[in-house]
Structure 1
């Protein structure tokens, strides 16, 4: 599988990529290699990764607790302190070995430490392979508000080794599949059809095409001024739903993909009301989503809290919530204003 050239860095695929990684480390003559993991990737992925790292440089492992709830500034401070205590300097490099939390937080940590050290992303979940590790967005949550603190910063390299997917459960695979569905609905409907029909599903090909699409979009619009906004489809309402479940003490958390899947159904429904997105395609998306994910009923008494969180979405301008909506598959409209009553109606449609 060929290398994808991103804005300033390559995205390598599979086992031969480890030689590229070793070459990069030797070329840049890093002083220390820091590897950021959580307890899961340290147990299941680190033993698989470390034999492939050919270097005589000093290696230090920094472990954080897993989960979106730990994607915050407090965790960053802990990592910054660890790097400092272990003698990190401006010639250090941070390798992120993990899912979306690790790559988002690790990139942010590296970009801020001593005004920026190099980092390398090695995603180990489907979600991080097709989304979080590529595109140059880094950041952490502010309380339950998703990705409120962060910056654009590119890694030196992304290494996608799909054998790490053997270490994650089916729920995490489904979480990442939501992002691939998003690319299919907004950009290349062949991807959506492959998942919908589930015939001879080749996950490696889906991953490559998803990364290719994200890279094509980011190359055209690195700072999300225009086209890159399509990558937010399903995320505007989806993030609010994810945040609500994250802060609710009496509810189980949703994965990122589960929340985004709900958001996509709702935003397809909004599209049908505002832009004449075909109703049969709304039903098609809903049927596909419900067939993949355990359905979570959004209680009416929770709508107000979800709407309140929606008002804090980082993409809002002048207090106005902006949605990406659809005229049709592969035909989108940016910065759509949606009446509050229609947002609520869309959640009722999802429940029905």
Structure 2
């Protein structure tokens, strides 16, 4: 696969990417190389990665606990302290080797340490390959509120090697699939149709097209003033649902993709009520989602708590929740205002 050139960095694919990494290590002459991992990627991905790292520089591995619950400032402080104790300076490099949490948090850590050190993203999950590793967003959660603290910062490069996907569970693959569905519904319906038909899926092609779409959008709107908002489809309500399950002691946490899939179904329903998005397509999206993901029973008693979390969505303006809705596939409308009654109605529709 050919390299995709983002605004200030390249996205390389497969094994030949590591030669590009070796080249930049020689050119930049970093003082120390830090590799950020969690307990999963140190066991399953690090052994695949390290033979490809050609350097005579000191390599230090920093391990954090996995999971969205650890994507917070406390973890960042721990990483900053370790980098400091190990003599990190402005000429250090941080390599993020992991999924969305490692990628988001690692980019944020690098961007803030000594006002910014270089970092390289090497995503190891489908979700991080098609979404978190590209686009220049970094950040952490504030409590259960998603991505409240962060900044825009670009890596030196991104390396997407699908061999790492052999190390993740089917549930994680499905989590990343939700982001591909999002690209399909908002930008290129062929992606959605391929997943719907589920015949001879080429994961490399799906990843490449997803990254290509995100890059096209970000190049036009890097700071999310207009077009980039379409990448939030399904995420406005989905993030609130994800946060609610994260803070609920009596419920199993949802993956990001599971929550976003619910959000897409609900937001398609809202679209049908406000923008005349075809009802048969609402049913089609719901059927595809329920074919891939287990049905989650959203209890009516929990609706008010989910709505309360919506009020903290980082895209809100003047206390107003803003949704991305659809007129049709590949035909979107941003900054849509939705009454609470319709949001509740959409969750009830998902439950049917």
For the criterion TM > 0.5, the same-fold answer is: yes
- State the match for 1:184 in structure 2: 184
Counterpart CA distance in 1 for 2:151 and 2:322 is 20
Deviation, structure 1 residue 145: 0.0
Report 1:272-311 matches (<5 A). 272-311=272-311
Deviation, structure 1 residue 72: 0.1
SS at 1:119 equivalent = strand
The one-character-per-residue Cα deviations of 1:107-162 (angstroms, maximum 9, x if unpaired) are 00000000000000000000000000000000000000000000000000000000
- State the match for 2:8 in structure 1: 8
Counterpart CA distance in 2 for 1:195 and 1:90 is 44
Deviation, structure 1 residue 79: 0.1
- State the match for 1:130 in structure 2: 130
SS at 1:151 equivalent = strand
- State the match for 2:45 in structure 1: 45
SS at 1:249 equivalent = coil
Counterpart CA distance in 1 for 2:2 and 2:194 is 22
Deviation, structure 1 residue 338: 0.3
SS at 1:314 equivalent = coil
Counterpart CA distance in 1 for 2:6 and 2:228 is 14
Deviation, structure 1 residue 5: 0.1
Deviation, structure 1 residue 210: 0.2
- State the match for 1:346 in structure 2: 346
Counterpart CA distance in 2 for 1:294 and 1:87 is 47
SS at 2:294 equivalent = coil
Unaligned runs of 5+ in 1: none
Counterpart CA distance in 1 for 2:77 and 2:347 is 38
Counterpart CA distance in 2 for 1:55 and 1:10 is 20
The one-character-per-residue Cα deviations of 1:154-183 (angstroms, maximum 9, x if unpaired) are 000000000000000000000000000000
SS at 2:89 equivalent = coil
Alignment of 1:24 with 2:32, yes or no, is no
- State the match for 2:258 in structure 1: 258
Alignment of 1:231 with 2:260, yes or no, is no
- State the match for 2:329 in structure 1: 329
- State the match for 2:198 in structure 1: 198
Counterpart CA distance in 1 for 2:300 and 2:7 is 44
- State the match for 2:118 in structure 1: 118
Cα-Cα RMSD: 0.2
The one-character-per-residue Cα deviations of 1:47-98 (angstroms, maximum 9, x if unpaired) are 1100000110110000000000000000000000000000000000000000
Counterpart CA distance in 2 for 1:160 and 1:234 is 25
SS at 2:48 equivalent = helix
SS at 1:158 equivalent = strand
SS at 2:138 equivalent = strand
Alignment of 1:163 with 2:163, yes or no, is yes
Counterpart CA distance in 2 for 1:177 and 1:84 is 37
Q: Number of residues paired by the alignment?
A: 352
- State the match for 2:71 in structure 1: 71
Counterpart CA distance in 2 for 1:204 and 1:351 is 33
Deviation, structure 1 residue 192: 0.1
- State the match for 1:60 in structure 2: 60
The one-character-per-residue Cα deviations of 1:300-342 (angstroms, maximum 9, x if unpaired) are 0000000000010000000000000000000000000001000
The one-character-per-residue Cα deviations of 1:246-271 (angstroms, maximum 9, x if unpaired) are 00000000000000000000000000
Counterpart CA distance in 1 for 2:49 and 2:77 is 26
Unaligned runs of 5+ in 2: none
Counterpart CA distance in 2 for 1:26 and 1:303 is 54
Deviation, structure 1 residue 235: 0.1
TM-score, normalised to structure 1, is 1.00
Counterpart CA distance in 2 for 1:101 and 1:217 is 22
SS at 1:36 equivalent = strand
- State the match for 2:83 in structure 1: 83
Counterpart CA distance in 2 for 1:25 and 1:217 is 29
Counterpart CA distance in 1 for 2:228 and 2:297 is 30
